Amino acid sequence: MTMRHPLIAGNWKMHKTPQETEEFIVELLPKLAGVGEIEVLIIPPFTSLDRSGTLLQGKSLQLGAQDLHYEAEGAFTGGISARMLAACGCKYVLVGHSERRELFGDDDTIVARKLNAALDSDLMPILCIGETLSEHDLVEEKITRQLTQDLTGVGGKALAKITIAYEPIWAIGTGKTATPEVAQETISMIRRWIASHYDEAAAQGTRILYGGSVKPANAVSLLAQPDIDGALVGGAALVPGSFAQIVDAARL
């Protein structure tokens, strides 16, 4: 069976200037001593990436971006390409975060194009999927539709570079967390979908995170679930101390 390394990722959304980012990194780095197999990732706004990339060279803290444009370059005012992100030192990029889908019009066709653009530039996409509260009873349908459409054209080799984040939209920024059992059940369903559309080895090898109001107080029980390989953290990732405590929960 393939060994899946845990990933704890902090999505900062629209928070922190480059200077505030630097202060965060300086405070967090010593708290990560001996993280070993656990990958730790910060995902600051675009404007903090270049400086972060320089600060993090050779450090055990990875850098990611919150979004990308699917074209390589051109007349796309405000757009940022995968190549630009890679040049800033990004290893990962979020694709299809629910805020991008709901507030910026990223539909599944756009998400699929972004995912493929990231893969073409050797960035590792973190594909975010999940249901709204009103879709909760139909979670399997929603997740299946997103996986089918978002992974269009992605073969088994490319899948190995993708992390999936299951984020029930009703749990993001609301303080409501899926119970560890509900999160485990949905994530194991995602694994079964991968097994049936790729194969069992791909299902066992794919890293799948939970996201939605993860905090130091609930991280241990969520991360203890057998199919949950890490967390995508919003609010609690803005403070080095609470983010480090969530990383510590993955060490247990």
Which residues of this chain interact with ligand PEP, rule CB under 6 A? Answer: 11, 167, 172-173, 211-214, 232-235
CA 238 to chain CA mean position, Å:
15
Token representation of residue 92: 């990962």
CB of 232: closest distance to ligand PEP in angstroms?
5
CA–CA distance, 96 with 82 (Å, rounded to integer): 15
Among the options 39, 69, 97, 131, which is catalytic? Answer: 97
Q: State the angle between helix axes of 216-223 and 240-251 in degrees (0 to 180), rounded to the nearest 10.
A: 20
CB of 110: closest distance to ligand PEP in angstroms?
18
**Of the two residues 6 and 212, which places its CB atom closer to ligand PEP in the complex?**
212
CA–CA distance, 173 with 16 (Å, rounded to integer): 17
Among the options 167, 181, 185, 197, which is catalytic? Answer: 167
CA–CA distance, 27 with 129 (Å, rounded to integer): 31
**Of the two residues 87 and 133, which places its CB atom closer to ligand PEP in the complex?**
133
| Ramachandran angles phi, psi of 229, nearest 5° | -100, 10
Which stretch of DSSP H or E encloses residue 25? helix 18-28
136 given a catalytic annotation: no
**Of the two residues 25 and 43, which places its CB atom closer to ligand PEP in the complex?**
43
| Ramachandran angles phi, psi of 214, nearest 5° | -75, 135
CA–CA distance, 50 with 231 (Å, rounded to integer): 24
Chain position whose Cβ is nearest to ligand PEP: 234
SS3 of 8, please? strand
CB of 183: closest distance to ligand PEP in angstroms?
12
CB of 90: closest distance to ligand PEP in angstroms?
17
CB of 99: closest distance to ligand PEP in angstroms?
7
**Of the two residues 92 and 198, which places its CB atom closer to ligand PEP in the complex?**
92
73 given a catalytic annotation: no
Q: What are the residue numbers of the active site? A: 97, 167
